[in-house]
Amino acid sequence: MSHTEGGAPKAVLFGCAGESLSAAEARFFAAARPLGFILFARNCRTPEQVRGLVVALRDSVGRADAPVLIDQEGGRVARLRPPHWRLPPAGSAFAALHARAPDKALAAARANARLIAADLHDLGIDIDCWPVLDLPTVGADPVIGDRALAGTVAAIAALGQAICEGLLAGGVLPMVKHTPGHGRAAVDSHLALPVVEATLAELAQSDFAPFRALRDASFAMTAHVVYTAIDPRAPASLSPRVIAEVIRGEIGFTGALVSDDIGMAALSGSLAERAQAVLEAGCDLALHCSGDLEDMTAIAAAVPPLGGAAQARVAQALIRRRPAESFDRSAAASLVQAELGSER
């Protein structure tokens, strides 16, 4: 990981406000030195415009290898959409196919992820915050809903692995989410703090299991969810106990751990306090998504440079970026369409 003249990058990932960088944003990022960035629909109008924005973001911190993230799952959660980009199917389409034809579902999931990676790679985006490994539960809030890859641990793990393979083949790193599991949450953590009261034994054999199966992923994103059996006071993102005992311990994840968006209503305290809290709990990077310059300024002042074990984990994760392998885009698209009925 190269460094700017101002020192090591800070342990934070930031959004930006619009389709191009303002002079004020460029100056701020140059001074704040975030490790990288995340894009949303508000940032994405055309391929040419997105490519320019990605270059400008990297130029602002003086690192051509600064990671750029996006949530491109398909279905409801797709920042890149028609007419310029294909809209991939939601996770539920693969769940339905896997229930009747597992091998076809895995091939379709791999091909679909490879198509997504091609779109991202073309834009210079090198991390997709996907796959979703959350195990859906009856009665849970629909925030996961059709984003879930399947209804069983084995199917989620298999489809998640296929997605990771497809992304990696296309030169994009996957970031599994939302560890150690958002599937039981009865409220949307964007809006309120979910509290899960399942026993540790229940969680270990269900919710945690898909993450255990993909524990070798380069990146994982935390859940803003309280698990009372482990830490009744703090959500996973802010809980040293959940991160050490469950994510690093029970699950065995050794990669770079990124908080979910610290701007979400599940968390309390100032944004600066939230950023400090997720890092002190054991997240390697704090994620802030809104692109609000005033908020980012407060966060940047509170966040330390990336160092120690966190720096080593992030560097090890980013080393796994590799050139995209050649592939037949039309054949991959035809395979997905044939197996799922349409590209949606």
From 3, 122, 190, 292, the catalytic residue? 190
118: alpha, beta or left? (left if phi > 0; alpha if psi -120 to 50): alpha
CA nearest to 79, candidates 42, 117, 37, 49 = 42
* Average pLDDT of the segment spanning 6-15: 92
Write out the H or E segment, with its range, that includes residue 222.
Answer: strand 219-222
Residue type (1 letter), 214: L
Domain membership flag for residue 73: yes
Domain membership flag for residue 3: no
> Which domain does 137 fall in, by range?
10-339
Domain membership flag for residue 67: yes
Domain membership flag for residue 105: yes
Whether the per-residue pLDDT at 225 is higher than 90: the answer is yes
Domain membership flag for residue 5: no
> How many Cα atoms are found within 13 Å in the side-chain-facing hemisphere of 165?
12
* 190 is a catalytic site residue: yes
Q: Tell me: the pLDDT tens digits for 261-292?
A: 999 999 999 999 999 999 999 999 999 999 99
Size (the chain), residues: 344
Whether the per-residue pLDDT at 5 is higher than 90: the answer is no
Domain membership flag for residue 4: no
CATH number at residue 149: 3.20.20.300
Q: Which two tokens stand for residue 253?
A: 């994840």
* 182 is a catalytic site residue: no
Average pLDDT in the chain: 96
From 71, 260, 261, 295, the catalytic residue? 260
Structural contact between residues 186 and 227, judged by C-beta atoms closer than 8 angstroms: no
How many domains, in total, are found in the chain? Answer: 1
Domain membership flag for residue 77: yes
Q: Which two tokens stand for residue 121?
A: 């790679």
Write out the H or E segment, with its range, that includes residue 66.
Answer: none
Domain membership flag for residue 312: yes
Structural contact between residues 227 and 198, judged by C-beta atoms closer than 8 angstroms: yes
Q: Tell me: the pLDDT tens digits for 47-102?
A: 999 999 999 999 999 999 999 999 999 999 999 999 999 999 999 999 999 999 99
When pLDDT is cut at 50, 70 and 90, the band that residue 138 belongs to is confident
